Amino acid sequence: MNASPPEPTAVSPHDVRIFDTSLRDGEQSPGCSMTATQKLRFAHALAELGVDIVEAGFPASSSADMDATRAIARELRNTTVATLARCHAGDIEACAAALEQAQAPRIHVFVSTSPLHREHKLGLSREEVLERAVMGVQLARRHVDDVEFSAEDALRTERDFLAEVCAAAIAAGARTINIPDTVGYTTPGEIRELFEYLRANVRDAGRAVFSTHCHNDLGLAVANSLAAIEGGARQVECTINGIGERAGNCALEEVVMALNVRRAHFGVGTRIDTRRLVPTSRLLARITGMSVQRNKAIVGQNAFAHEAGIHQHGMLKHRGTYEIMRPEDVGWSRSQMVLGRHSGRAALQDRLAALGMAVDEAALNAVFARFKALAEKKREVFDADLEALVLGADANVARAYRLLRVQVGTGVGDGNLPTASVQLLDPDGTTLSEAAIGDGPVHALFEALGRATGIELQIDSYHVSSVTTGDDAQGQASLTARHDGVELTGSGTSTDILEASAHAWLDIANRLARTGHVRRPRQTASPTATAIA
Ligand code: KIV
Ligand code: ZN
């Protein structure tokens, strides 16, 4: 056992470490669950983006998370892989097992410190919480050198007690001390002052890196994280697209670009390759089916769009009039047009590599076939089309149900009813055919899919947007639905928006099928008996 304080860590006062928790805090939030394969793929994307630490999961929470974190720990080189544990022996041992093959393993232990959590969640006194923190850090240090300690709900904890717990964790061997605003309650002024206080009052504060972890309940997560940096935090915990519990976590792309664009103000930088921000954001949106709002800073579709004439006029004279950063510096590509139906495999492979989606020979064959089919339908294939194609192909591999055929009638005209018929392959390869009528064509389509699969989805939101431009653009359908109290999101792309909608519906059905969370199948009746709800 090594309980002596570690050597002062090597982080330069000018650097802020980026600790990404999309795969842990993000993934545990509604609508963001990922399969082990998807988690692994995204972990590689985070490593390419240049994050310093990838928090891969919470291994004690499920065997699926154990497998996913183990695979990430095995494959990521040159990036620290962290796993989360409560200050319980079982959790910590699960972390150690998951990290066995990691090149740079970190165990992240946490315990709640606020009076509210001590009394109502843990039923522990201050002394007992302190003991638990020390025990957790010491036990984790038996397995790895790099241990992070988090004081959950730190921002609502008495300052003197928080300082005492932090000092005890450092003395027990923690190298990173994380101060989470678990419920998104703080303000920029308050958190800046708290970090200044802790750095001045915690014994041996200089032996650890102080870290900030802000939730977005009041929409202040990024502002609070930046204020914590001003107060001396040198690690920021954040997620791509700001995904996370409730209103989410601090958005990585926003905090990184704020530090980058206002470097003279903050005086610190990160190692992030900012040109990978947009591709990484898109990859996550595709994997989770949770799309990014158009006006989202940095990665939203409107982030660099100039519609008003007066703005366009200014932009033509000098782009600095209305742009504080260059779109290409965060990964938007100016030249949109890429390939057409005469393009060959080499050109496709080159372009995919340039977009950060390098594929091996076997995958290239599948993607090329899909590319050719798309190029037959579309005059021009854009970068975003390629992205949809590659990631869509990935999703297809994991698909349990596959769409074979869709036919939809709109019901326009006297006496006509919106109708839909679908043909699918189920997970066993059996062909399923069904038809239904509905309030409108999309409703009829979803009814037919529900009948064919026996899965009942309650649709909460549905929207269609175009992935690229032009009248032959691919449409992306995004759905949020509930099944047996579980909320899920799904998306699908196609040049036909009804087909895209069917893919989005099946994306959700497949997520349910993969997790085994399908409640009893719904009863199917004859198509003509379908209620027009
Ligand atoms: O929000 C929080 O307090 C957390 C901790 C487990 C770090 O996610
Ligand atoms: Zn959190």
Q: Is residue 2 pLDDT above 60, yes or no?
A: no
pLDDT value, residue 488:
77
Going by alpha carbons, the residue nearest to atom 8 of ligand 1 is 25
Ligand 1 atom index nearest CA of 215: 1
Ligand 1 neighbourhood includes 180 CB (under 6 angstroms):
yes
180 C-alpha to ligand 1 centroid (Å): 6
Q: Same domain for 63 and 181? A: yes
Residue 503 placed within a domain: yes
Which bound ligand lies closest to the C-alpha atom of 152? 1
Strands, DSSP E only, in 305-386?
337-339, 381-382
Of 288, 316, 335, the one marking the end of a domain is 288
How far apart are the C-alpha atoms of 8 and 295, rounded to whole Å?
A: 42
Tally of domains within the chain:
3
Q: Same domain for 421 and 492? A: yes
Strands, DSSP E only, in 376-524?
381-382, 402-409, 419-425, 431-437, 458-466, 475-483, 486-494
CATH number of residue 507's parent domain = 3.30.160.270
User: Does residue 523 or residue 345 have the better pLDDT?
Assistant: 345
Ligand 1 atom index nearest CA of 24: 8
Pocket test for ligand 1, best of 182, 211, 237 (most atoms within 8 A of CB): 182
pLDDT value, residue 448:
96
How far apart are the C-alpha atoms of 284 and 45, rounded to whole Å?
A: 9
64 C-alpha to ligand 1 centroid (Å): 21
Residue 8 placed within a domain: no
User: Does residue 447 or residue 428 have the better pLDDT?
Assistant: 447
Ligand 1 neighbourhood includes 112 CB (under 6 angstroms):
no
Q: Same domain for 458 and 358? A: no
Lowest mean pLDDT among 42-46, 201-205, 514-518: 514-518
Hey, what are 254's tokens? Answer: 């926003």
pLDDT value, residue 68:
97
Q: Is residue 18 pLDDT above 80, yes or no?
A: yes
Ligand 1 atom index nearest CA of 150: 7
Q: What pLDDT band is residue 375 in, cutting at 50, 70 and 90?
A: confident
Going by alpha carbons, the residue nearest to atom 1 of ligand 1 is 182
31 C-alpha to ligand 1 centroid (Å): 19
Q: Same domain for 233 and 275? A: yes
Going by alpha carbons, the residue nearest to atom 7 of ligand 1 is 150
Ligand 1 atom index nearest CA of 153: 3
Q: Same domain for 373 and 475? A: no
Residue 293 placed within a domain: no
Q: Same domain for 249 and 337? A: no
Count of beta carbons in the 10 Å neighbourhood of residue 200: 10
320 C-alpha to ligand 2 centroid (Å): 37
Domain that holds residue 83: 17-288
Q: Per residue in 3-13, pLDDT tens?
A: 444 444 556 77
Ligand 1 atom index nearest CA of 182: 1
Ligand 1 neighbourhood includes 19 CB (under 6 angstroms):
no
Residue 267 placed within a domain: yes
Residue 406 placed within a domain: yes
pLDDT value, residue 162:
98
Residue 4 placed within a domain: no
Sign, CA torsion 140/142/148/149: positive
Q: Is residue 377 pLDDT above 90, yes or no?
A: no
249 C-alpha to ligand 2 centroid (Å): 7
Instruction: For the chain, give the mean pLDDT.
Output: 87
Q: Is residue 359 pLDDT above 50, yes or no?
A: yes
Which bound ligand lies closest to the C-alpha atom of 180? 1
pLDDT value, residue 528:
35
Q: What pLDDT band is residue 392 in, cutting at 50, 70 and 90?
A: low
Which bound ligand lies closest to the C-alpha atom of 108? 1
Q: Is residue 30 pLDDT above 70, yes or no?
A: yes
Count of beta carbons in the 10 Å neighbourhood of residue 50: 16
Ligand 1 atom index nearest CA of 110: 6
Of 346, 361, 391, the one marking the end of a domain is 391
DSSP string, 17-52: EEEE-IIIIITTSTT----HHHHHHHHHHHHHHT-S
Going by alpha carbons, the residue nearest to atom 5 of ligand 1 is 152
Q: Same domain for 196 and 57? A: yes
Ligand 1 neighbourhood includes 152 CB (under 6 angstroms):
yes
55 C-alpha to ligand 2 centroid (Å): 11
Q: Is residue 334 pLDDT above 60, yes or no?
A: no
How far apart are the C-alpha atoms of 216 and 490, rounded to whole Å?
A: 23
Ligand 1 neighbourhood includes 182 CB (under 6 angstroms):
yes
CATH number of residue 244's parent domain = 3.20.20.70
Of 391, 416, 448, the one marking the end of a domain is 391
86 C-alpha to ligand 2 centroid (Å): 13
371 C-alpha to ligand 2 centroid (Å): 40
Q: Per residue in 244-290, pLDDT tens?
A: 999 999 999 999 999 999 999 999 999 999 999 999 999 999 888 88
Q: Same domain for 280 and 366? A: no
Residue 9 placed within a domain: no
Task: Out of 252-261, 491-500, 524-533, give the one with best mean pLDDT.
Answer: 252-261
Residue 294 placed within a domain: no
pLDDT value, residue 391:
67
Ligand 1 atom index nearest CA of 84: 6
Q: Same domain for 467 and 324? A: no
Q: What pLDDT band is residue 193 in, cutting at 50, 70 and 90?
A: very high
Q: Same domain for 121 and 45? A: yes
461-479: buried (b, 16+ CB within 10 Å) or exposed (e) per residue? ebebeebbeeeebbbbbbb
Pocket test for ligand 1, best of 117, 213, 217 (most atoms within 8 A of CB): 213
pTM of the complete model: 0.76
Q: Is residue 335 pLDDT above 50, yes or no?
A: no
Task: Out of 2-11, 115-124, 378-387, 437-446, give the one with best mean pLDDT.
Answer: 115-124
Percent of the chain with pLDDT over 90: 60
| 3-class DSSP assignment, residue 423 | strand
Ligand 1 atom index nearest CA of 178: 7
182 C-alpha to ligand 1 centroid (Å): 6
Contact by Cβ (8 Å): 210, 233: yes
User: Does residue 13 or residue 196 have the better pLDDT?
Assistant: 196
Q: Same domain for 45 and 160? A: yes
pLDDT value, residue 530:
31
The four Cα atoms 507, 512, 516, 522 give a dihedral, to 10 degrees, of -110
Q: Same domain for 312 and 453? A: no
Pocket test for ligand 1, best of 110, 166, 245 (most atoms within 8 A of CB): 110
Contact by Cβ (8 Å): 481, 511: no
